[in-house]
Every structure is written in structure tokens, then in C-alpha cells.
Structure 1
Amino acid sequence: MIARISRLLLATALVATPALAQDGGPEARPLHKRDAWLPQSVPTSDDVLRIPVPADHNAPKGAFVLVGGRLFDGTGAPARPATVVVQGKIIVAVLKPGERNWPQDATVYDVTGKTVMPGLIDLHTHLTYLDLGDLTSLFSKGDTSGAESAMRGLRRMAIHLQSGVTSVRDVASHGDGPFLLKRLQATGEIQGPRIFAAGQLITQTGGHAAALANDNNPNAMARTVHGPDAWREAVRIQFAQGADLIKLASEYSQEEVTAAVDEAHSLGLPVTVDAETQYIDMAIKAGVDSIEHPLPRSDTAVALMVKRGIASVPTLIPYRLISRTSGGYFGSTSRRFELNEATIMAMARKMRRAGVKMGIGLDLIVNWPDFMPGAYINELQSFTELGFTKAEALVAATRTGAEILRMGDRLGTIEAGKLADIIVVDGNPDEDLAALRKVRTAFVNGRLMLQDGRIYKPAHEEVPLPEAK
């Protein structure tokens, strides 16, 4: 009898081993909080890197006030009448109607009849992705110049800003392009959303997006690597460029994805993956922070995402565009499963029912940014089909997006102490999402960057010539 019980216990243990391995916690070390050694009084950069900076770093001069509007603050509270006061790049007060407490020299904007709200966030962009006319370059392994890449990114930044998007998470672009655009936007030299950049996508030979890799060209959009040490080194290369996160794509071995996540977390960078089926299981086991796309995964994987706080950026709109323009997702070795408008919504519903944290990302490549702002509105409407209210969908687009960016302490809501990324909408988007077609004004980091629906750039100020000596 004892022997029989022992055999039964052994059999049970053997069956349970895979589940126990998955539930045993991430293999990679947890995300290191890089500013943990800094007192709160020390100012840091307004990105994931949290580098010590002067108190007025990238802050514009002066103050402004938004008076007379209804405020949708992104916290989940109902919209209400309020006045928003900004000094430099910081929201310093949210006042009740009739209260007047701001600097005498502040610029006052009358936004009566309009909605003031946090800027929208797009968690999945590729700012420098090739245009349709450039796709011949795809077959030469993405050999495109840095100048071309930056110009494509600049155009797409303008489209996003005019659609009310004040932050983008760029999850793979060409070479140093996204980092250059990030620096210029942060200093106010160019207009557009603030950028959180991953740098190059990291994959293996034959992996997803490997066609965009050319390891002899530092301007390529993707990098192929082989073995755990090489995956670690690829992470370090993106960190050295100034990455805010790391983007991995299947296929990979368990050892490779674990090494990459471990290295990224040790450097304080969150990791997101483009993965499917068994590769999602591997990514979860490694300890990633978010998973892109509505691709197939098991109920066990979804439950583990909830348990470990792994977020989802479902990106429903690109699969609609693929289905409606090409008839289906064809010719990809990393998409060997049914993928259509029904399957993407079914997976999104599964994650929503389970309680996975979900943010808004669009994955608009080639000429697809031309579908903005309709593409963003369509993604929000899809969230309402998943069970979100309109207001909850907007919270997913603002506060939740900031949390997934690891920027929830600075972005995503209109509250005192937050960065002034603010849009003004001619209508009530929390009641009618289509009102987002009427974004009239946008401030990013306290700078006016959109006025009357057009990109705003301050006039050049002449610098006097030096006097003759």
C-alpha cells in the first residue's frame, strides 16, 4: 500500500511539474528601480531612465491657465467644471469654478464649452517604419538612411499630435532615429508627442521581423542575435542608446528570453514582447512586463498574466486593416494560426474577463497613420465592445497607458504635480468618442504644440549681433 501511495504521489508530482514551474515566479530578476537611491528632492528626467537633472530641465518659462471648461481628469472620476493651472511644465493646481489663484502674468485660455483632459497615449508605434513606396528596401534588409527615417518619424509625430496623442511608446524603429526625435521633442525643438523608445527590435534569425534586420547596418530596425549572451548584449546596446524599454520578438529559446529580460530588468528597463502560443508561455516564465497583440495564448497564460501583473496592449486596429486590405495575414512563419477580426476580439474579451491590465496601442505602419484619428477612435470603440464604458476606455488611453509606460507618477491624469500633457477637445469624448476628431489644442510638457487644430511653433526670436569692439 505504501509503495502504491508513493507511486501515486510521484505521478501527481510529475503531472504538476510544468504548472509549478510556471507558478514558481519569474526566472529573471525583478525590475530594478534605478532611482531608488535618490532622495525624492532630487529632480530626475521625465522618462523611464530617471537620470538626475537640474530642477528646470526642459521646462518652458511662464504659466498658463485653462478656464471655463469641463475637466475629464483621467482618474476615473466623472467630468466636472474646473480650472487647470500650469507653471512651467507642471500642473500646479486644479481649481473649482470661480476660484482664482494663479500668477498675474499667466496666459489665460478660455475653454468654455470644451473638455480638458490628459493627452492620449499610443503604446505601440513604429515612427520610422518604411512607407509603402519604400518597401523595396525591406528586401535589402532595411537599408534606409537615418535622414529618411527621421523625416518619416517627424511626419508621423505631427499626425499623432493633431489626433490628441501626447505620448508614444516606439517599440522598434531605425537605428538612432527614435532617440534623436525623443531628444529634440523633449527640448521643444520639434513638435509632437513625447517619445518612449525601445530602439531596435531584438529577435533571432528567422524570427518575427527578422526581415527588417541587417546586423551590418546600425540603422536597421531589428537586430538578430543567437544565444543568451548575445541577447544580453543586444539589450545593453539599446540601453546605451537611451532606451526606455526593450522589445523582444519570438522566436527564442527559454534561456534567451530569460537572459534578455534579466539584463533589461537589471538596467531598470521594462520588457515587452511580440509573441504567440508557446513563446508567450516562455515570456511569462521569464518575467516580462507586457505582451503586444491579440495573438493565441492559453487560459493558463492569461491567468498568469493577471497573477503577475503582466499588461496587454492588444492592438486590434492593425489586424482589421490587414484583414480588410489583404484578406488575411499571409506569408508569415510567426503567424501560423487563424487570425481575423473574430479571433482578435475573442482573445481581447478573454483577457478583459480575466482582469488583465489593457492599454491602447495602434501599431500603425506604412501609410496607416493616415487613418488617424479614426484609427484611435476605432480602438477605443473596440474597448467598449469588450465591456469598458466610454469613460473607462479613455482611462485606458491615459492613466493606464502611463502606468504601462512606468510613468504613472508623472503622466496620464490631470492632477497637481503631474506633467502638463493636456488636450482640449471641442465636445465631450467621455460621452461620444467621436469628439476626439475635434482636438483643438494640445500642450506637451507645458508647451503649446497644437493651436486651432494645427501644429504650433513659436516664431523665431532674433538674437542681436555682437557689438563691434
Structure 2
Amino acid sequence: MARARSARLKLNKRRINLLTKRLAVLPLALAAAFGAQAATTTTKYLIISENANKQIGQQIVERLDDGLTKVSFSYKDNGRGPDLEEQFRVGADGTMTEYAVKGNSTFGSVVDEKFSRKGDQAAWKSTSEQGEKTVSGPAAYLPLNSSFEVASVAITALTKAPDGKLALLPSGTLSQRVLDSVEVTSATGQKQTVSLLAQTGVGLSPSFYWATTGAQPRLFGVIMPGFGNALEEGWQSAAPVLGQRQKAAEQQMLTDAAAKLQHPLTGLTVVRNARIFDSEKATVGQSSDIYVLRGRITSIQPAGSPTRDADNVIDAAGRIVLPGLFDLHGHVDRWSGALNMSTGVTSVRDMGNDNAQLQAMLDETAAGKLLAPQVVPAGFLEGESPYSANNGFVIKDLKEAKDAIDWYAQRGYPQLKIYNSFPKAILKDTVAYAHSRGMRVSGHIPAGLRAQEALDAGYDEIQHINQVLLNFFVKPDTETRNLNRFVLPAEKVADLDFNSKPVKDFVAYLAKKQISIDPTMSAFAFLKQRDGDVNEPYVALESHMPPDVARSFKAGTMKIDGDVQLKRYEKSYAKMVQFVGIMYKAGVPIVAGTDDIPGFTLHSELALLVKAGLTPAQALQVATRNGARYTRTTNDRGSISAGKLADIVLVDGDPTKNIEDVRKVSAVITRGYVIYPTEIHAALGIAPFVGEAPKVIKAAPVAVTYGGGNEGARARIEASAKKHE
């Protein structure tokens, strides 16, 4: 379950996988406001999934003879997706003077947004906000939910801007630069040259668009590697070459970023005066010195112990040092790595991706070309249906399921994830075969089954708190491949008696069988998201985020009709959090995953674990020790110990007492590099969470004898370090 902020951000920033075909043409409710006119030109964009190579949505753009543009936009991803109707006009500078959109967002919330500019006065109103501003010069309005055509307007307006920059409303600045150009050929033999553009200033990563060339360039298409593309009808054959050229240009940007933000630690490094979090005992030890060489911890000694010829010295200055954090529910892309690393997340379990894209990212990370955490891949397995998710392998019978499992096992995937449309008739045999290949099995609960039945078939883990609690609500004919899997828990958990025998028996079974649960509470807070409010997982982030990202935190997600329903959904969500605590206290293994904004919402997930009843130290244990246990990486990760990978996170404050301090990451060591979150945040327009970070001091070779005593050795090291600062 991927969190949707808006159609535009979801398609362009989070690179969702678009999977089913449907165009719902909504009534043109705005026609009266703008006036219906005959269309002069129509451009149709087809949204095609890459893996299945089928149409999953479309965008129809009508440019009328009076300057009005109408857009119908729709797609469906795994039983959900937006339906939007837009109308707008543009002024002489190419920016919109009037804009309106109606419809529904990805998870069904009402979309109703308007903007107008008359002279220097701009005003806007949506279901979550309204405002006005005096502005001079060109300025582009950024809707919360929109089609790709809004990006097309910006492309044209930016071309007219002398410095390639455009003010954004309500705030911010949009920049654009040309990365590449290529000639493409249509199905009918037409040729044209299109350019690859990178836009920055919206979201937490660049947006890539292919545009026509000439005096009035406009959108030609969008390539979303591993997921699909949206191209003008008739030009779909251009997708492969555009994808190759875009990947090369994007990779160069990522390689440059990795070289700038990853600082290599060559030779022996000592991290001095570190208070190490013991993830087995959930306690903090006495101040220690940690020795790191070639990406591994070679030794841990009491602070001030003698050191011979250290090349680098990092003074933790009494900071608490955590093992690298685990996010056990990610969907990694090439740009999410910076967010993870800046928040201390050094390992991510990928829970569903395009197989070829993920393998390429693993290669790029290993080669040091990608700023990214270490990824533990889970193989994605889905069945054929109108609701199918299009990650990994989509199969129709047991033979295809076994072939997919072989593919994953041969590439070292330690886990299999089964999804909503998987054929329940072959579930038990599929799980048994995956176990025979040495893989753990987890997932959503296939439609028509309860969680208990999936466990009886051999599941080792369940993803998402809604999938756990649906166990008490679904019947064999309940459809859970659409929004029902969110609406049912939101409606019914409020009345679920946790002291009832069925609930207690189920929790006891989970504990007895040691079934791990990946609740992703942070992601499911959207069930109670009301327009205009900042939802719980984002309260601590809002003031740090770029304006457009912070603004999106106030947009509703579900369709919630009035205060009575809102209170019910709030109660249901509160009980979901409570149930996680009940499971933990009963001995059910809990893991920390996000399925949301990378890195930052792992911290929010840990805060929700504390709200569920865990101590802050226990929550940190879940994100370290449990992360390693349930990715089968305890030999290398999960604790700060000699011989293990040097995945080390230096934190200001004391997150074992106040879990919010886990957000104060001052430095991260991983894979032989030191990374400073403040540098990453500055590059992304994020306000820092910490002050000055501990720097690497290049120490001159110093031979210290063991006869001088700890205090003498420490004094000589400090003197040498200061001399060479």
C-alpha cells in the first residue's frame, strides 16, 4: 500500500506502478463557470504499464478556440487511483490565470480546487486550504491534485523565463534544464525531436519530462522506469529509447550526487567517545571507541584506549550511537536513498518492485554510483485479475509461481511477498515450495481468505495492520482488492472487542508460531486524515519540509463524510495502534516499516510504537535487532559489534528516553563512507534537524605505546588531531 499525496506527486515523485485500465469521464461540472466551446485541438496520452504492456489509464486534453483547456485524467493502480476533470486558461506569460479541478484522489477523497489571478492578485481554495497573495511577474500555481497537463503548462512558461526559473504559488521556485534531445518516430512514420527536461523545486526529487521542441514546447510524455509511461497516442514505440536516454541522464545526476555526499573513510577510522546502544539489551553502555576499517567494525574499546596510526578520527562527543536503522517496508527507487541515509536508515527491505529495475539499483549501489541503503529484496508474486498489481511476477498457475520463486531464490532473495490477487487454490503449495527454497513468506492476504487461513497455509509474516485486522471482518465473498481493504477496517475496528475469545486466540496463535507483523502504522494514519489538518506522522516534519511538501500534508486522503464518520475512523485507527501494543506484549514479533516517505516516516513509526506501549528503547530495538532478525542479516547488521558491518548512526539527544530524538541524526557511517544529513537536507531544501555535525579529522600517523596508560594515550591523540585540523 503506497501512500498517495496527489496524482501529480504520486506519478512523478513516488513512481507508483500503474496497473489497470479505466477512464471514468466525470460530468463537466465546471463547464458553466468557463463556458462550453468547440474544441480546436485534442491530444490524447495513453498510460501504459511497463511490465504488462497494457493500457491502464489516459489523459485527454482539449484546447478550445476561446483559450480554455479541458483535461480528463484517470488511471487505476491495484484497485485505486484518481479521476480528475480540469479546466484552465493561461495568460500571455504562459502561466495559468484560471484553474479548476474536480474529482477524486487515489484513495477516494474529494478533489475540488480553484485558482485565479487577476492582475497582481492571486487566490486559491481547495478542500484543505485557501489563501491569497499579491504577486508581480510570472508565477505558476501548483495544484494539490492534478493531471500531467499542469506540468505541460509549466514547461511552456519556463521556456519563456529568461533564467529558467519560475515563481510558484503559494510559494517556492520551479527550475528547469534540458538534459538530452533525441529524434523519435511514430507508428505512422512521423518524426520529431523531443527533449528531456529535469524540473526541480517540487517534491523531494527531480521530475523528468519529455517535451516537444520549438518556440512553444509542451509535454510529449513521461517515462516512469520500471512502472510505465504516459506518451502521446501513436508514439508508444518511442518508450524504449526514451527510457534508455532518461536512465543515462538520471544516472549521471545520481552519480554526481553520490560523489558529492558520500565522503570515503580510507584507512583506519576511530569513532571516539561513543555511547553505544545495545540492541540486544535495549540499553546504552559506557563511552567507547569504535574502530572501523574497510566498512567493518574491527574493535570496540573503552573510550581513551590506545590507538596506533588511525587515519581518521571522529569525536562522537558523548553522543548516543545506534546501529543502522532498518525500514522493513520500503519500495526503493533511485532517489529515495538520500532520504533514507539522511535519517539513519542504512538497510531497507524492498517489499515490491520491478525486478529488472531493482537488480540494476543493487548493482549501482554496490558500485558506489548510487547514494542508497543496503537493500534486502523480497520477491513480489501476484495473480492475474482486473485488480492486479504489476510488480515482480504476475502468475496464473502453480508452475508459473514455482518458476518465479526459482528466479528469486537464484538471485538470493531471502523472502517472498504474496499479494492481493494471488490464486488462493495454489497458496499452500506455493508457500511450501518457497520454504523448500529457503525463503520466508509474507504478504497481503489474498482476496477471499482470512489472515488465519493464510497463516494455516504457511505465512511467516503479515504486511500492514489492516490485513491483520481484516481477519475478523471478511467473508469468502468479500472483495478486498479495492478500497474495501481500507474502508472495512476504518468502519469496523472501532467496535472490535480485543478481549473477545476470537481476538485473544488469534493473538495467542501469532505469538506461539512467532509470526512477525509489519504494521506500517504511519502509512495507515491516512485513514483518519481530514482536509486541512496535518496528520500525526507528519507533525514533526512539517516545519522542516519544502513548502509544497508541507502543504501536501494537509490534503485529505479517504472520502470521509462529516464529523461522525471522522470520529469513527479516528477511533478505529487508535485501536489499530493499540492492537500493535497488545501483540507486542503477547510476544508477537513486530518489525518497523514505512511504505511512506522514506526515512522520515520510519521515525514516525517508532513514535507510534511508543504510543502503542513500547518504551523508546524497545522501539529502537525493533528497528535494529528485529530488522536484522527478520531479514536474516544478523551476522552483519543489527548491532554494533566487532566483525559486523560498520553501519553506525550518531544521534543528538537521547532517543532511548525521548523517541523524537531519533530524528536528530548528525552523521551516518555505512559502506566505508561518512554521510552528513545536513548536506543532504540542504540539497533537498529541507531545514536541518541538528546543528553542527561531528567532522572527520585526518590524523597524522601516531604510534602510541601501551605503557603510557589510557589518559596519556588519549592526550597524545587529541594533541595530534588538533595539530592537523
**TM-score, normalisation: structure 2:** 0.45
Q: What residue identity is the alignment partner of 2:341?
A: L
Q: Tell me which of 283, 287, 295 is aligned to 1:89.
A: 295
Aligned to 1:445: 671
Distance 1:73 1:354, change over 3 A: closer
Deviation digits for residues 364-393 of structure 1, max 9, x if unmatched? 1xxx44xx52x2222111111222110110
Deviation at 1:97, TM superposition (A): 1.9
Distance 1:222 1:189, change over 3 A: closer
Distance in 2, matches of 1:455 and 1:100, equals 36
Correspondences of 1:46-445 after superposition (within 5 Å): 62-80=267-285, 81-101=287-307, 103-127=308-332, 153-199=333-379, 201-206=380-385, 210=388, 212-213=389-390, 221-275=391-445, 278-295=449-466, 296=469, 297=471, 299=503, 300-324=505-529, 325-327=556-558, 340-364=572-596, 368-369=597-598, 372-373=599-600, 375-445=601-671
Distance in 2, matches of 1:241 and 1:77, equals 34
Unaligned 5+ runs, structure 1: 1-58, 128-152, 214-220, 331-337, 457-469
Distance in 2, matches of 1:440 and 1:294, equals 32
Deviation at 1:73, TM superposition (A): 3.0
Q: What residue identity is the alignment partner of 1:275?
A: I
Distance in 2, matches of 1:269 and 1:75, equals 25
Deviation at 1:191, TM superposition (A): 1.7
* 3-state SS, counterpart of residue 269 of structure 2: strand
Deviation at 1:252, TM superposition (A): 4.1
Unaligned 5+ runs, structure 2: 1-263, 472-501, 530-555, 562-568, 683-725
* 3-state SS, counterpart of residue 377 of structure 1: helix
Q: Tell me which of the two structures has the higher relative contact order, counting C-alpha pairs closer than 8 angstroms and 6 or more residues apart.
A: 1
Any conservation in 2 of the 1:348–1:386 contact (CA below 8 Å)?
yes
Distance in 1, matches of 2:277 and 2:442, equals 29
Aligned to 1:12: none
Any conservation in 2 of the 1:315–1:360 contact (CA below 8 Å)?
yes
Deviation at 1:404, TM superposition (A): 0.8
Distance in 2, matches of 1:77 and 1:376, equals 18
Distance 1:328 1:432, change over 3 A: farther
Any conservation in 1 of the 2:527–2:558 contact (CA below 8 Å)?
yes
Percent identity over the alignment is 26
Deviation digits for residues 291-340 of structure 1, max 9, x if unmatched? 1111213534432222222211111011103431223699xxxxxxx894
Distance 1:192 1:202, change over 3 A: same
Deviation digits for residues 111-168 of structure 1, max 9, x if unmatched? 10422111110000112xxxxxxxxxxxxxxxxxxxxxxxxx1211111111110000
Aligned to 1:145: none
Any conservation in 1 of the 2:272–2:304 contact (CA below 8 Å)?
no
Deviation at 1:66, TM superposition (A): 0.6
Query: More displaced, 305-314 or 290-299?
Result: 290-299
What root-mean-square deviation, in Å, do the aligned CA atoms of Structure 1 and Structure 2 show?
2.9
Query: More displaced, 411-420 or 103-112?
Result: 103-112
Distance in 2, matches of 1:228 and 1:242, equals 21
Distance in 1, matches of 2:560 and 2:425, equals 29
Any conservation in 1 of the 2:382–2:421 contact (CA below 8 Å)?
yes
Deviation at 1:228, TM superposition (A): 2.5
Q: What residue identity is the alignment partner of 2:579?
A: M
* 3-state SS, counterpart of residue 408 of structure 1: coil
Deviation at 1:275, TM superposition (A): 1.9
Any conservation in 2 of the 1:164–1:442 contact (CA below 8 Å)?
yes
Number of residues paired by the alignment?
351
Deviation at 1:169, TM superposition (A): 0.3
Distance in 1, matches of 2:559 and 2:304, equals 56
Q: What residue identity is the alignment partner of 1:122?
A: D
Any conservation in 1 of the 2:275–2:284 contact (CA below 8 Å)?
yes
Q: What residue identity is the alignment partner of 2:293?
A: Q
Distance 1:125 1:105, change over 3 A: same
Aligned to 2:157: none
Structure (1 or 2) with the greater strand fraction: 2
Q: What residue identity is the alignment partner of 1:86?
A: V
Correspondences of 1:5-44 after superposition (within 5 Å): none
Distance in 2, matches of 1:60 and 1:288, equals 42
* 3-state SS, counterpart of residue 593 of structure 2: coil
* 3-state SS, counterpart of residue 334 of structure 2: helix
Q: What residue identity is the alignment partner of 2:384?
A: T
* 3-state SS, counterpart of residue 72 of structure 1: strand
Any conservation in 2 of the 1:441–1:453 contact (CA below 8 Å)?
no
* 3-state SS, counterpart of residue 385 of structure 2: coil
* 3-state SS, counterpart of residue 393 of structure 2: strand
* 3-state SS, counterpart of residue 416 of structure 1: coil
Query: More displaced, 389-398 or 65-74?
Result: 65-74
Distance 1:190 1:294, change over 3 A: same
Distance in 2, matches of 1:228 and 1:303, equals 32
Deviation digits for residues 3-36 of structure 1, max 9, x if unmatched? xxxxxxxxxxxxxxxxxxxxxxxxxxxxxxxxxx
Query: More displaced, 62-71 or 320-329?
Result: 320-329
Q: What residue identity is the alignment partner of 1:192?
A: A
Any conservation in 2 of the 1:91–1:416 contact (CA below 8 Å)?
yes
Distance in 2, matches of 1:268 and 1:159, equals 32
Any conservation in 2 of the 1:68–1:83 contact (CA below 8 Å)?
yes
* 3-state SS, counterpart of residue 188 of structure 1: coil
Deviation at 1:415, TM superposition (A): 1.1
Distance 1:393 1:229, change over 3 A: same
Q: What residue identity is the alignment partner of 1:223?
A: F
Query: More displaced, 441-450 or 171-180?
Result: 441-450
Deviation at 1:362, TM superposition (A): 0.5
Deviation digits for residues 233-286 of structure 1, max 9, x if unmatched? 222233345533211123445542222222222222222211278342232122
Distance 1:328 1:232, change over 3 A: farther
Q: What residue identity is the alignment partner of 1:125?
A: G
* 3-state SS, counterpart of residue 283 of structure 2: coil
Any conservation in 1 of the 2:328–2:627 contact (CA below 8 Å)?
yes
